[in-house]
Structure 1
């Protein structure tokens, strides 16, 4: 084998050696001339376009050099894509997620072009389950009840994103450092989302957000003259649910941080702003995320004393909302309190809708087709029965679109993941700090699963993207665990 064959395709001749090649010099002159012409003709706009192209080229270089950047980018995009749609009209911004995931796979393949990609790390049970879920979703295309391919494409994220993200996560996140960076990206954009939400609450919405409200969204986002904060996410329900989810994960994760005060303070800040975001969103169902999430964490600790204190604390929270009127003058607290009222009018409407859907779906075990359920389907099927009935709940939406068969398969995947990951935390993982990290992801996921009964939280962005990545990490924890002989007697001294 020659020396040249061992050179990485992205590490061939560079720097001054390239200038000795006439072809490169000519190409450089052509590129500079074209850029100068664009800048001269389009002036300020042209400079902006050139700067954007430059950043794009730099990003692509970094992506193809380190493909894991694509996974981190998908997390960032999951937060901002929907919000971008309010400012960029007539552009399918949602395709940005598809594009970055496909580019990441391409970068992974090209990065290992000479030595071939070793897909063994992705050969896990969660990948197999994601593939089955994808196959079932593809089957829904030929569901006789489905009448719109465009509707299916709009709901593709329910399976396609899981199938694409799980293998990438298994391939890339194989160390505590990479897991930490994933959580840093998540936490950073969660902070930005909360800060944007605070701006909406204190200073009002901007022109694009006002236009979005005027399209009819004011009916669900302005109640009794008060704004339900939605930040730059899809809606207040997704904002409140995701911020509560993030707060639970960040709170528990901060406990696993030792001897790094700035890092600990960062995740504490993420948690505090996350809980505040949950409150100002006015999303009542989001309160179930910390309740179910922290209860799960207390169980995972396998400590009777901790469990007792935890149950007592959660009981006090329940009593505060259910049996007192403390803080009733606060709009956010007053709305949260209605989530504990079994006679709430909104709850009764949801139950009535579920009765209608149960009768309709009794003879349709595969549902009405992906993208065909709920008021969102009116864009494709304005006169269909299923598009006239609000689904609200994530599980009701899956049931409506994919039938009882799809719902059972979906629930099996979720509970299998939580069950197996919990077993690992309680009996398999040796590193006490890794136990806390994985327990944080499990607890957050259980909280989202609980909240998804009342709101369509789980499948939306960014929550769905974060859940899919977390599922892969939770079931691949052995890659992050330290060897038994390296465990120190005092867990505080362990460094990741």
Structure 2
């Protein structure tokens, strides 16, 4: 039936005007709130329509939302914003299934070793519900991302990011939000924090984010440590990735990389400097070129000497703060080592740990007087050790080094296409940087680093997919 014929149907006309009347009544009754609800419903309907036609939109949405959701939580209270990423992931899975409903979904792209490893990790995390040391289910729900996000986002990445164009789009989305994060951080440093950020500082954030009268910039992230580590991550990935680009895209990637390193510096997070150190050294090794490796080692050594053995730039707070990362007698480091000794004694008889969500400051809202709630974990690996035990930590490290090692081997000895080599090297180097930096701060599993890290793990595990697609594209155009 044509549109004009449908409008000639009395039932359609009645339903049309009834809908208009209903919307008008809602807007009149609820006023500004009604307008907001109406616009949200319209936007939601359009978004869902686009998502179910092209499920990769959900992947990009999760990446973007992953950046800002915790920052939004400082302004909007009382809403379960923490479940927003879960909702997007579930909806994306539904869109993936329904978009290929007639021919059934082919899950074979996700049938990879890393998926199996992530599945085992998920089962271990689910087992933590019955861990005899765990006292409540609420902390486990709050920490669910440790297992669920890794497993399900790896699958989504395998299923949806299967071409170089989609890979580049993933990086563009990441890059845009990374730029916004640095600009927001710059604004905090120059103009100060706004009312919501000040309220967050006044409610306890100032203890760790205002030191000697200086603000540790946190942008719209959970804390300065996550901001600094993630921006260092962007600096490594985007500067290396820019080598695979030309023209305006190259300028964009270089800009993101430089602003990323700038954001890392103004965060005042000393441990984040491990990201470029480990990341760049990894890249030099991946190049398999003695001259490049030698030049890279000299470059990194000069930076080390600058921070370790000189006082140049000490008038700048950010440089002075970063220099503290090279002091083995740093008081913060000594406190962390003391805490690890305490945990070692406590966990000696607890091989499965104390339960997901049960360790560190975050656990105090659930169990304020519990032992693990009052011992700072700081490091990502110490947190995994405290919550999932030596068994969980051992397996977690095995998975990380397995993915890093196999991906590096493929880039160095299997992949021949130079552009694919550069792209994969960027992701591998970023992963190495985050792995090292996560020894000092809980960066790896926090937002927004977690989803970026998990997606990168999946992508770098199958570099042949992107090499093959590039070769086929080049052959079809010749």
Whether contact under 8 Å (2:188, 2:217) holds in the other structure is yes
RMSD (CA atoms): 1.8
**Deviation sequence 1:206-247 (CA, Å, 0-9, x none):** 000000001111000000000000000100000000000011
Cα distance in 1 between the residues matched to 2:145 and 2:25: 41
Cα displacement (A) at 1:427: 1.1
Equivalent position of 1:122 in the other structure: 110
**Equivalent position to 2:405, from 416, 419, 428:** 419
Check if 1:280 corresponds to 2:266. yes
In structure 2, do the counterparts of structure 1 residues 353 and 16 end up closer, same or farther at CA, with 3 Å as the change threshold?
Answer: farther
Deviation sequence 1:64-121 (CA, Å, 0-9, x none): 1111101111100110111111011111111001100000111111111222111111
Relative to structure 2, which stretch is displaced further, 41-50 or 22-31? 22-31
Q: Find the counterpart in structure 2 of residue 5 from structure 1.
A: none
Using the alignment, how far apart are the partners of 1:57 and 1:37 within structure 2? 20
How many residue pairs get aligned? The number is 477
Indicate the residue corresponding to 1:207 in structure 2: 195
Distance 1:282-1:145 versus aligned 2 partners, 3 A rule: same
**Contact 1:292 1:443 (C-alpha < 8 Å) held by counterparts:** yes
Answer whether contact 1:431 1:482 (CA < 8 A) is retained: no
The yes-or-no answer on 1:430 pairing with 2:437 is no
Measured against aligned partners, the alpha-carbon deviations of 1:430-478 in whole angstroms (never above 9, x if no partner) come to: 2110100000000000000000000000000000110011111111221
For the structure 1 residues 365 and 254, does the alpha-carbon distance in structure 2 shift closer, same or farther, using more than 3 Å as the test? same
Query: 2:342 is paired with a residue of what secondary structure?
Result: helix
Match of 1:442 among 428, 442, 454: 428
Structure 1 unaligned regions, length at least 5: 1-12
* Residue 232 of structure 1: aligned partner: 220
Using the alignment, how far apart are the partners of 1:114 and 1:483 within structure 2?
A: 26
Q: Tell me, in whole angstroms, the C-alpha distance in 1 between the residues paired with 2:440 and 2:9.
A: 65
Query: Once the two structures are superposed, what CA deviation does each residue of 1:4-61 show, in whole Å capped at 9, x if it has no partner?
Result: xxxxxxxxx8966754665554443333222111222233332232122211111111
- 1:140–1:402 CA contact under 8 A, matched in 2: yes
Q: Could you tell me how far 1:164 is from its partner in structure 2?
A: 1.0
In structure 2, C-alpha distance between the alignment counterparts of 1:71 and 1:21, rounded to whole Å:
41
| Corresponding position of 2:328 | 342
Relative to structure 1, the CA distance from residue 331 to residue 66 in structure 2 (aligned partners, 3 Å threshold; closer, same or farther) is same
Find the counterpart in structure 1 of residue 92 from structure 2: 104
Contact 2:354/2:389 (CA < 8 Å) preserved in 1? yes
Identify the match of residue 247 of structure 1 among 235, 259, 264.
235
Question: TM-score, with normalisation over the residues of structure 1?
Answer: 0.93
Match of 1:152 among 126, 140, 144: 140
Q: 1:306 to 1:20 in 2, by over 3 A?
A: farther
Equivalent residue, structure 1, for 2:363? 377
- Tell me, in whole angstroms, the C-alpha distance in 1 between the residues paired with 2:49 and 2:11: 21
Number of the residue aligned with 2:287 = 301
Residues 457 and 29 of structure 1: is their aligned pair in 2 closer, same or farther, counting only changes over 3 Å?
A: same
1:326 to 309, 312, 323: 312
Give the whole-Å Cα distance in 1 for the aligned partners of 2:472 and 2:141.
49
Counterpart residue number, 1:289: 275
TM-score, normalised relative to structure 2: 0.97
SS of 1:159's equivalent in the other structure is: helix
Distance 1:62 1:90 in 2: 29
Residues 371 and 484 of structure 1, relative CA distance in 2, 3 Å threshold: closer
Aligned to 1:52: 40
Instruction: Name the residue aligned to 1:3.
Output: none
Kindly indicate whether residue 113 of structure 2 is the aligned counterpart of residue 141 of structure 1: no
What SS class does the counterpart of residue 423 from structure 2 fall into?
helix
Q: Counterparts of 2:54 and 2:10 in 1: how far apart (Å)?
A: 30
5+ residue gaps, structure 2, are none
Q: Cα 1:59–1:22, aligned 2, differ >3 Å: closer, same or farther?
A: farther
Cα displacement (A) at 1:357: 0.3
Aligned to 2:55: 67
8 A contact 1:251–1:271 mirrored in 2: yes
Residues 431 and 487 of structure 1 are in contact (CA less than 8 Å); yes or no, is this contact kept in structure 2? no
Residue of structure 2 aligned with 1:196, choices 171, 177, 184:
184
Counterparts of 1:291 and 1:18, CA distance in 2:
66
Alpha-carbon shift at residue 373 of structure 1 (Å): 0.6
Conservation of the 8 A alpha-carbon contact between 2:164 and 2:469: no
Looking at structure 2, the residues matched to 14 and 136 of structure 1 have their Cα atoms a distance apart, in angstroms, of 56
Spell out, residue by residue over 1:260-289, the C-alpha distance to the aligned partner (whole angstroms, 9 max, x if none): x11111111101110110011000000000
